[in-house]
Amino acid sequence: MERISVHQFITLGAAVLMGTTFLPVASIVTGVGGRDGWMSVLPGFALGIPYSLMILSLLEQYPSNNLLQISETLFGKLIGKLIGSFYILVAGYLGGLLLGQVGDIYQASIMPLTPLGVFYLGGIILVLLLIQSGIEVFARFSEVIFPLIVIALFLNIVLSIPRIEQGELLPILSEGFKPILVGAFKVMPFPLTYIIFLAGVIAFLPTGEKELKQLKSGVWRVVFMVGILDMLIVIIQILVFGPTETVRLVYGLLVLGKMVEISRTIAGVESVFLGVWFGAAVLKIGSLFFATNWGLEYVFGLKGIKWRLSLCVVFLGIAFRYVRGPSLILEIGLVDEYLIMPFVAIWIPALWGVAHWKKGVGIGRKETRSGGKG
C-alpha cells in the first residue's frame, strides 16, 4: 500500500485546494462584495477546516479506509453505493469541465489558433501519466509544483505593485458585512471540491497518533496558506484594476501578468505564468481523476488501465461538449454551487455524525479493529 507523508499531505492538499481557484476567485468575490470582496476569501476557505477535521476523525476511527468504504459500512451497501455513484459522477464531471477550462484559457489568452483538442489531449496525457505512476508520485509532483505555483503567484503580485492605482481598496466596509458573507458563500464550493479529493486520499494517510496530530494542524496550515494567497490575489487585482474592472475581466490575473514590465527587458509574463497554471490545472484534474478512479474501484470494483483509459475518454468527451468558453465557465460555477456544495455539505457531517453515534453505542469498536487490520 502506498503511503504519503504528512508534508506531502500538506502540499498535495494545498495544491488541490488552490487548484485553479486563483484565476476566477477575484471576479467572483468582487462581484458580490465590491471593494471589500477580498475579505470574504478567508472565511469562505475556512469552511474547509471543520470538514477536513471531521474526515480526519473518521480516519482515526477507520484507518486505511476511504470515505466511500466507510459510507458502505455505516449506511449499508445500498446507500453506500448510491453515494459512491454520485461521488463518481460529480468528481468526473467537474474533472472533465476543468479539462475544458485548460483549452479555454490557452485559446483565449495566448494561443488563439491552436485547436482546443490539443490542449485537452496534452492535459489528459499528463494526468494519465500521473495516475499510472500512483499516488506517491502524484504527491511528489505536488511537492515540486506547488512551490512553483506559489512563487509564480508571488512574483505576479509583487511585479504588479508599480501598476497599483491610488486608493482603490478604500473605503473599507462601506456596505457593511452582508456582501462579505454572501461572498464567502460563493467561495465555499472551492474548499468543498477539495473535500471530494480528501474523501478518497485519506486511505493513504499515515495513521499513527503523532501523525494524526500533525495532519490536523496540517489542515489548518493548508487552508490558511491557500486562503491568504487567494486573498492577496484578490487584493492586488482590486488595487490595480478597481472593482469594476476586476469583475469584468474573465481571467484577471492573466491580464495582470500581461501588464508586468521589468524595466525594458521583459514585457508581459503571462505565457510563462500560464505554464505554471497548467501544472496547477493538471494537479487539480489529476486529483479529481484519482477521486473518480477510487470511486470506480471501491464502489464497482472496476480497476486497471482499461477503465482509466475509458475515464480519459469520458473526460475528453465532457471537455469537448463545452467548446463555448462562457457556457463552460457558467457550468463550472453551477456544478460547484449546486452539485458539489450540497452533496459534500450533507454527506460528510452525516457520515461523521453516524460514526460518532455508533462509536458511542459501542458498535464502532468492533469496526475499528477490523478496519485496522485491513
- Binding residues vs other proteins (CB under 8 A): 5, 7-8, 11, 106, 108-115, 118-119, 121-122, 125-126, 128-130, 132-134, 137, 139-141, 143-145, 163, 165-168, 170-171, 174, 240-245, 248, 255, 258-259, 261, 264-269, 271-272, 274-276, 278-279, 282, 305
Give which of 147, 150, 329, 162 is closest to 236, Cα–Cα: 162
Rounded-to-integer distance, Cα 296 and Cα 356, Å: 27
Nearer residue to other proteins within complex by CB, 61 or 237: 237
CB of 208 to other proteins, least distance (A): 13
Nearer residue to other proteins within complex by CB, 3 or 358: 3
Nearer residue to other proteins within complex by CB, 211 or 245: 245
Nearer residue to other proteins within complex by CB, 61 or 287: 287
- Pair 38, 234: CB distance under 8 Å: yes
CB of 307 to other proteins, least distance (A): 12
CB of 29 to other proteins, least distance (A): 16
What are the beta bridge partners of residue 261?
Answer: 267
Nearer residue to other proteins within complex by CB, 269 or 335: 269
Sign of CA dihedral 150, 161, 104, 338: positive
CB of 282 to other proteins, least distance (A): 7
Nearer residue to other proteins within complex by CB, 139 or 195: 139
- Pair 20, 281: CB distance under 8 Å: yes
CB of 83 to other proteins, least distance (A): 30
Sign of CA dihedral 134, 225, 230, 37: positive
Grid cell listed for 224: 490558511
CB of 19 to other proteins, least distance (A): 16
Helix (H) and strand (E) counts in the chain: 17, 2
How far, rounded to the nearest angstrom, does the alpha carbon of residue 352 sit from its chain's CA centroid? 22
